[in-house]
Each structure stands twice: as C-alpha cells, then as structure tokens.
Structure 1
Amino acid sequence: MATIPSWPATLPAPAIDGYSVKPKPTFVRTDMDSGRARNRRRFVTGATEFQQRFRMTQSQLAIFEAWFENEAFGGAADAMMPLITGQGKVMVQCEFTDTYQRTAVPGSKLHDVTLSLSTYSKLVPNG
C-alpha cells in the first residue's frame, strides 16, 4: 500500500485570514403533505470542503511546488494536510478539488498559495 504524502514540516501552517470551511449536509429534508418539512440523518460523516491560504517565501514556494508535483502527483493523490478545526490545527487526510492558485504579495517577495481541499475524515470528536 502506498504511503500518503504529508505536508512538509518546512512549510507554513494555513493562515486564518481567507480560511473557509463548508461541510456538506449529512441529512435529507423531506417536504410533508402538511406543509411542514422533516430532516433525517442520512450519513454519519459527510464531505467537508476547505479553502486555505499559505503565505510562503520564495524558497518555501519552490519546496511546495516540488512536493505538489512529485509527492501529491499534481493534486491527483490524497495528502495529509494541516487543517484548522475547533480542536486547533490537526493533520487530516484530504483530496485536492482543484489545482493551487498562487499570487504575489504586493510590495514583498512573498507568495500566497490557495488550496481547495475536501475531506471525509470526521473533524469533531464523538461524544
């Protein structure tokens, strides 16, 4: 079995600014004849989509681009990524839903790399 590539320790954690999370519903809604609707749980775990931004130096950008192409196979492979949850920063198995977007930070030699990710991992503890 192949190992899942992990986010390199030399790269930064995701920035809070620009971070967004969109859990997919795990329930279905049924309209009733009375006009009322009912919700019922359909799945225990559903997909959660993330948008993350990482601010990188030129050398970190080179490491990221090499990792993305060679370890994550250009985004085709799952990867262990740092995600910000209610429990803090945790490493979660994710898949890329798109390729990365890179923009230069005006007035500096920094780059913002934005990733779109999805995970089916449970992000909240049972209880």
Structure 2
Amino acid sequence: MTPYARTDMDNGRARQRRRFTNVPSHVSVTWRFTHSQYALFEGFLAYEINLGTDWFAVGLLNGMGVNQVQARFMDDPPYKSAISDSRAWFDVTATLEVKALPLPSRDEYDVLLTYVAADIAAMGDSLHRLIHESLPGPKRWD
C-alpha cells in the first residue's frame, strides 16, 4: 500500500497527495546463524510467532541506530536460507513489515541538515563539560 494517492490529469502534471501519516516499512534483512542458532530460529517461527504471521520484537538498524521495533514476515515462505560453503553458517534472508521505524525529531533533523557529525560530537563534549563540570552548586547534574 502506498502512502500517497496520485491522479493523472488530462493536461499538465499529475497531482499527488499524502493518504496516510503512518504506513509500515518493508525492510530486507539478512541473518547469519550457527546450526544451533538456526534451530532456535526455526523453533521461534513455529512456536512463538505462528510461522511468521504474528508480530514480534526485533532490533533493527537504521539511521537512528539499533532500535527494538515490531515486525512480521511478509513473504510465503517467510524466509530463504542457504548454508555456507564451509557448512558452518546458515545465511537467512527475509523481508519484514515493520510497524514504525524510528525517525529523528524535527529538531534533530534540522541539526543534521546544518552540521556534520564531527561538529555535533564537538558540541556534545562542550555541553557535557558545561553541565557536569562548570555549573556551580548542589543542583549540578551528576
């Protein structure tokens, strides 16, 4: 389902508008499992999440770091696996439907637009020193 509606016009550009404010994301994932981890994964699918149809919590990496999100498997079968050439690993790939990936707040977004990562890190050090080392009195933030 797309988050927008598009209407082609007889003349000129098509019109487009947002339909929903919160739509699930589709995320491709790859896990590398040992034999025992793969057995645990198969059991988790069978006994905990109804062969991948139920929602579950998983840590996913995006621009905001690794965060716990609610996800479920999208495909049938829910995943594909391949054993490594050394036969020591299983590489498992899947597409997950994720309820909501974390996004930066508007203020964080504005800072990211303005400064590079090194500048942000330098500001954090200065702010930390001000609060934890320079401010006087018992209300210091320790």
Provide TM-score, normalisation by structure 1.
0.72
RMSD over equivalenced CA pairs, Å: 1.7
User: Does residue 116 of the first structure (1) align with residue 103 of the second (2)?
Assistant: no
Greater relative contact order structure (CA < 8 Å, 6+ sep): 1
2-side partners of 1:126 and 1:44: how far apart? 15
Greater fraction of residues in helix: 2
Pick the aligned partner of 1:57 from 28, 34, 43. Answer: 34
Structure showing greater Rg: 2
Equivalent residues in 2 for 1:70-81 (5 A)? 70-81=47-58
Verify: 1:37 aligned to 2:14, yes or no: yes
Alpha carbons 1:78, 1:95 under 8 Å: kept: yes
| Rounded Cα–Cα distance in structure 1 between residues aligned with 2:29 and 2:68 | 14
Letter in 2 for 1:111: F
Residue pair 2:57, 2:70 contacting (<8 A) in 1 also: yes
- CA distance in structure 1 between the aligned counterparts of 2:101 and 2:95, rounded to whole angstroms: 18
Q: Any runs of at least 4 consecutive aligned residues in structure 1 with deviations exceeding 4 A, and if so which?
A: none
Shift of 1:72: 1.1
Whichever residue aligns with residue 35 of structure 2, its letter is: Q
Classify the secondary structure of the residue corresponding to 2:51: helix
Partner amino acid, structure 2, of 1:102: S
Partner of 1:104 in structure 2?
A: 83
Structure with the higher strand share, 1 or 2: 1
Q: Which one-letter code corresponds to 1:89 in the other structure?
A: V
Matched residue pairs, number? 104
Counterpart residue number, 1:84: 61
Aligned-partner SS, 2:22? coil
TM-score, normalised relative to structure 2: 0.65
> 1:27-85 CA distances to partner (integer Å, 9 max, x unpaired)?
11222333211221111011211111100111111211111111112112111122221
Sequence identity of aligned pairs in percent? 34
Output the CA distance in 2 between the equivalents of 1:122 and 1:111.
27
In the alignment, the residues of structure 1 paired with residue 53 and residue 15 of structure 2 have an alpha-carbon distance, to the nearest angstrom, of 38
Cα-to-partner distance string for 1:97-123 (whole Å, 9 max, x where unaligned): 121211101124111111221123253
Of the candidates 59, 69, 74, which is equivalent to residue 46 of structure 2? Answer: 69
**One-letter code aligned to 2:102:** L
Please, which moves more after superposition, 49-58 or 32-41?
Answer: 32-41
